[in-house]
Structure 1
């Protein structure tokens, strides 16, 4: 995962998930996905899409874009709904990996300052503090 993030950020000269997705040909859409769904990644007819819940604030939308980008890079071809319904595989593993990828990507270009707490570090970089547990 570290090598993939390094390659993406070096190749596209950014850690912005929206810019990276654009370069990769992934279409970003916004829709009201209700209260419980923050984002969706899917492909249809060889076109890839990230749909982000329009109800979320900009920091969460950025995080969700990075999370769904992880599904494209790490889990392409897997369908969470199928895994939940018909498989013994643990879909939570893939969600955890996507969260870890998103945190690493969004924090790639910055370092913790001496005396700075992790919470302050996340806030400074506009990463939701709820994702602290995915920081390595």
Structure 2
């Protein structure tokens, strides 16, 4: 009987734990984080799909990132900015490995669903984990 009651209590509580709050953060706000200034060295520029982009001289492939952060004890906004920064760091590393100086046409790509914005990144905040997935094209742009 106790096991049945415990199972019932856990089942009833599980929807409350399955939070998936969609939040949008501005790329400019992520880039303004002190940690962004430390970890993004400026050698790679980032351009959201729809944003004004310098002339692309060469494209060097497409890549996707899927970064998560612990959301416990953090506001959704802060956790989303942190996850977005992690995704940008991964794109910066990939761009350098591919000889690119930019990542262009960046879209949010959470669960393989595109969200396009010239200024915003889509983030999904859960009860425990917050995630950002980005997809973009490595490119060489005119300086």
Q: Same fold (TM over 0.5)?
A: no
TM-score interval, smaller chain: under 0.3
Higher relative contact order (CA 8 A, sep 6+): 2
Q: TM-score, normalised by structure 1?
A: 0.24
TM-score (norm 2): 0.24
Larger radius of gyration: 2
